[in-house]
Amino acid sequence: MPEITFAQAREFLDNINSEDKVAVIHHDDGDGICSGILYYDWCKLKNAKTEHFTYQINRSKLKDFELEKFDKIIICDVAPYFIGKESEIIKNKQVLYADHHPRDTPIAEEILELVTVTEGYIPSSRTAGELTGLKPWLSLIGTITDSGELYAENQNFIDKYLEVVNMTLDKFKENVSSVVTNFLVYFNEDMGKAFTLLREINSIEEIENLRQYSEQVENEVQKFVKEYEEKKERLGDVNFYYFEPNFSVKGPVSGIISHQDQDEAYIFATPKEEGKYITLSARNTSQKINMADLLKAGVDGLEEGSAGGHVPAAGGICLVKDINKFKQNIRKFLENRKS
């Protein structure tokens, strides 16, 4: 696929006009939602007919989004691993694919790709904010919810906009980014509504309007953070923690726990779809272990197992009946890695 520069990506956005029909496809986490809103707002400002589609890992398919009527497509924060083969169905469209995941799966060569991997860990929200110039505070929210503050390459960007909103990083996390993270968890089964409600927020101060949804989720997050030490299981050099929340709080729970000891590696597991599947989230901020490779090894040979992501963070899924085999695979991978 042709890799393009930041200036070429900006030119793609500048050329959008009222004659265009644009689909914005984004991931369902904080980084994906925030970057999706920024691209959506840009297209609306250009008077293009615009729709957005939330891509949920292991639940969504490009073919299900009915993209035939669109002439331009913007994809953000969706790893090549998940859309690689499917990208063939959109190769005849004008597609801008702005993403920050490892390039581990081929994408249709006709698609324009803005690659930020070589610059380090650059969350999609930061890229979207820098490309569009819209809602810098929203770009900052997406960057922080994706743990962008843990990487030196984002420091100047984060410091600049923390100064604009007149907050310290800790205060921003407490009063803004954690509220948005919990709000998105609350609407996990209705991401369209979450997208609309967050898009209607026009200032950092209005984030307080989302706290009514956030507080219920926060109570559950803290419950499982406290339970972690008692229930965790050691798989070689990795901490494995299975829990059964009412809300989809694996993201914030894993974020809090993994930040408490950044040298440790973690796999967080929760049930899905009435106990048929277990979803997996792996974290290792120190990057001593490649989390994408770890989870891929874990699901290797498992029926309906899949995984993908970054070196410091990855996600996956397996059938409940295969969880013990998954653990065995993890132990084996770690033993082989040592030897």
Dist CA 29 CA 38 (whole Å) = 14
The angle formed by the CA atoms of residues 158, 219 and 213, to the nearest 5 degrees, is 70
Instruction: Look over the chain and give the mean of its residue pLDDT values, rounded to a whole number.
Output: 94
From the list 222, 240, 123, the residue with the least C-alpha distance to 178 is 222
If pLDDT is split at 50, 70 and 90, which confidence band does 255 have? confident
| Two structure tokens written together for 143 | 């960057």
| Two structure tokens written together for 220 | 């559950």
If pLDDT is split at 50, 70 and 90, which confidence band does 268 have? very high
Please determine, for residue 1, whether its predicted confidence score (pLDDT) is greater than 70: no
| Two structure tokens written together for 120 | 């380090």
Per-residue model confidence (pLDDT) at position 159: 97
Domains contained in the chain, CATH given: 3-212 (3.90.1640.30), 232-338 (3.10.310.40)
Collect contacts of 197-203 with beta carbons under 8 A, ≥24 apart. 198/33, 198/34, 198/37, 198/138, 199/37, 199/40, 199/41, 201/138, 203/137
Please determine, for residue 231, whether its predicted confidence score (pLDDT) is greater than 90: yes
**pLDDT tens digits along 170-179:** 999 999 999 9
From the list 151, 142, 74, the residue with the least C-alpha distance to 113 is 74
If pLDDT is split at 50, 70 and 90, which confidence band does 274 have? confident
CA 198 remoteness from chain centre: 16
**pLDDT tens digits along 62-121:** 999 999 999 999 999 998 988 988 999 999 999 999 999 888 888 999 999 998 998 999
Query: What SS3 class is residue 305?
Result: coil
- Residue 22, Cβ neighbours under 10 Å: how many? 25
If pLDDT is split at 50, 70 and 90, which confidence band does 144 have? very high
Dist CA 1 CA 159 (whole Å) = 34
Please determine, for residue 143, whether its predicted confidence score (pLDDT) is greater than 60: yes
Mean pLDDT of 282-294: 93
| Two structure tokens written together for 254 | 């894993």
Contact criterion met (CB below 8 Å) for 49 and 20: yes
Dist CA 146 CA 143 (whole Å) = 5
Give the dihedral sign, CA 328/276/257/129: positive
Mean pLDDT of 295-306: 94
Contact criterion met (CB below 8 Å) for 294 and 330: yes
Per-residue model confidence (pLDDT) at position 201: 96
**pLDDT tens digits along 181-198:** 999 999 988 999 999 999
**pLDDT tens digits along 20-73:** 999 999 999 999 999 999 999 999 999 999 999 999 887 889 999 999 999 999
| Two structure tokens written together for 266 | 């973690």
If pLDDT is split at 50, 70 and 90, which confidence band does 252 have? confident
Please determine, for residue 320, whether its predicted confidence score (pLDDT) is greater than 80: yes
Name the DSSP letter for residue 120.
S
Dist CA 281 CA 182 (whole Å) = 17
| Two structure tokens written together for 5 | 């520069």
Mean pLDDT of 236-246: 95
Dist CA 296 CA 277 (whole Å) = 16
Burial class (CB in 10 A: 0-12, 13-18, 19+), 337: middle
